């Protein structure tokens, strides 16, 4: 009879119909019994005894992890305990679009990101962060993701006599200038050709490239993988100029005369 009572306490949830999620905080240093008391007080379990008993017989007492957990009264004790033992904390899912600047990432996350030279090296992607993730946590995860994505191209970059910083800076220009893979590769070829010919890059997305030779001092945004690959593998062509129409089409020209005509035709 006792085993039946304990089994019901462990395997039956407090309320099978209550699916409203609650954020439950396990603070660092809290012991098993304090966690059980708080679960009972929050109305997530029937009795702290069942929680403590289950965790003890499963050998999970020393494995309980601090953090903020999303729990419901419709979860039984085995499910709740497993979440806390495995550290399955509540997370926010955030998508960082390609071409976002650091300031835009900070605004989306509601966090100030620490460190210098972040622009260009926070890889755009969909991330899961703990609800109370710090700026340091975010930067580490995004930088680690950048390194993972960029590492396969490091030999190509060094073999071309370029630095990763130069390639990422070029990729950031490409990201802001054109949208399709084909256009990015052609624009990359044009800009690298200008770069090597000591010709101003003249990129509208970075007005300083009209006033000085070479790349901007820093990347102007955080480029995605397609733009990075275009910067690593530019497509050769006879073109020296390009422009984007209001409809988003890219018009390529071989000569300045052709380019000026295209401007008068498409950018009236």
Q: How many residues does the chain have?
A: 268
Task: Please tell me the distance from the alpha carbon of residue 144 to that of residue 140, in angstroms, as a whole number.
Answer: 6
Q: How open is the CA angle 74-77-82, to the nearest 5 degrees?
A: 110
Cα pseudo-dihedral 79, 76, 61, 54, rounded to 10: -130
Write out pLDDT tens, residues 130-181.
888 899 999 999 999 999 999 999 999 999 999 999 999 999 999 999 999 9
In 3-state terms, what secondary structure has residue 73? coil
Give the alpha-carbon dihedral of 51, 54, 55, 57, to 10 degrees.
Answer: 150
What is the rounded CA–CA span in Å between residue 111 and residue 131? 12
Q: Rounded distance, CA 97 to CA 175, Å?
A: 11
Rounded Cα–Cα distance for residues 58 and 211 (Å) = 68
Nearest CA-CA partner of 45 in 24, 67, 65: 24
pLDDT in tens, the chain (268 residues): 556 556 676 878 888 788 888 999 999 999 999 999 999 999 999 999 999 999 999 999 999 999 999 999 999 999 999 999 999 999 999 999 999 999 999 999 999 999 989 999 999 999 999 888 899 999 999 999 999 999 999 999 999 999 999 999 999 999 999 999 999 999 999 999 999 999 999 999 999 999 999 999 999 999 999 999 999 999 999 999 999 998 889 999 999 999 999 999 988 7
Cα 266 → chain centroid: 36
Phi, psi (5° rounding) for residue 121? -120, 10
What is the Cβ-side half-sphere exposure of residue 85, based on CA atoms within 13 angstroms? 17
Q: In angstroms, rounded to a whole number, what is the distance separating the alpha carbons of residues 257 and 268?
A: 16
**The CATH number of domain 2-86 is 3.30.1490.480:** yes
Segments making up each domain of the chain, as ranges: 2-86, 91-152, 161-266
Strand runs labelled E in 131-258: 241-244, 250-253
The b/e string for 31-64 (b: 16+ C-beta within 10 A; e otherwise) is ebeebbebbbeeebbbebebbbbbbeeeebeeeb
What pLDDT, on a 0 to 100 scale, did the predictor assign at position 4?
A: 53
């Amino acid at each position: 009879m006792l085993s039946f009572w304990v089994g019901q306490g462990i395997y039956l949830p407090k309320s099978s119909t209550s699916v409203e999620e609650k954020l439950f905080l396990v603070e660092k240093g809290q012991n098993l019994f304090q966690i059980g008391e708080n679960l009972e007080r929050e109305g997530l379990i029937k009795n702290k005894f069942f929680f403590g008993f289950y965790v003890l017989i499963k050998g999970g007492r020393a494995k309980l992890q601090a953090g903020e957990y999303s729990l419901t009264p419709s979860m039984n004790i085995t499910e709740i305990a497993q979440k806390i033992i495995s550290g399955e904390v509540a997370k926010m899912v955030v998508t960082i679009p390609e071409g976002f600047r650091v300031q835009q990432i900070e605004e989306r996350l509601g966090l100030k990101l620490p460190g210098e030279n972040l622009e260009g090296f926070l890889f755009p992607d969909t991330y899961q962060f703990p609800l109370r993730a710090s700026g340091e946590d975010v930067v580490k995860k995004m930088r680690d993701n950048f390194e993972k994505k960029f590492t396969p191209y490091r030999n190509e970059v060094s073999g071309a006599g370029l630095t990763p910083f130069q390639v990422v800076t070029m990729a950031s220009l490409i990201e802001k200038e054109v949208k399709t893979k084909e256009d990015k590769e052609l624009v990359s070829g044009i800009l690298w050709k200008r770069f090597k010919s000591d010709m101003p890059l003249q990129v509208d997305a970075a007005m300083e490239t009209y006033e000085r030779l070479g790349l901007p001092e820093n990347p102007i945004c955080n480029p995605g993988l397609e733009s990075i690959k275009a910067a690593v593998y530019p497509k050769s062509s006879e073109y020296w100029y390009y422009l984007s129409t209001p409809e988003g089409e890219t018009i390529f020209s071989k000569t300045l005369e052709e380019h000026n005509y295209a401007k008068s035709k498409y950018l009236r």
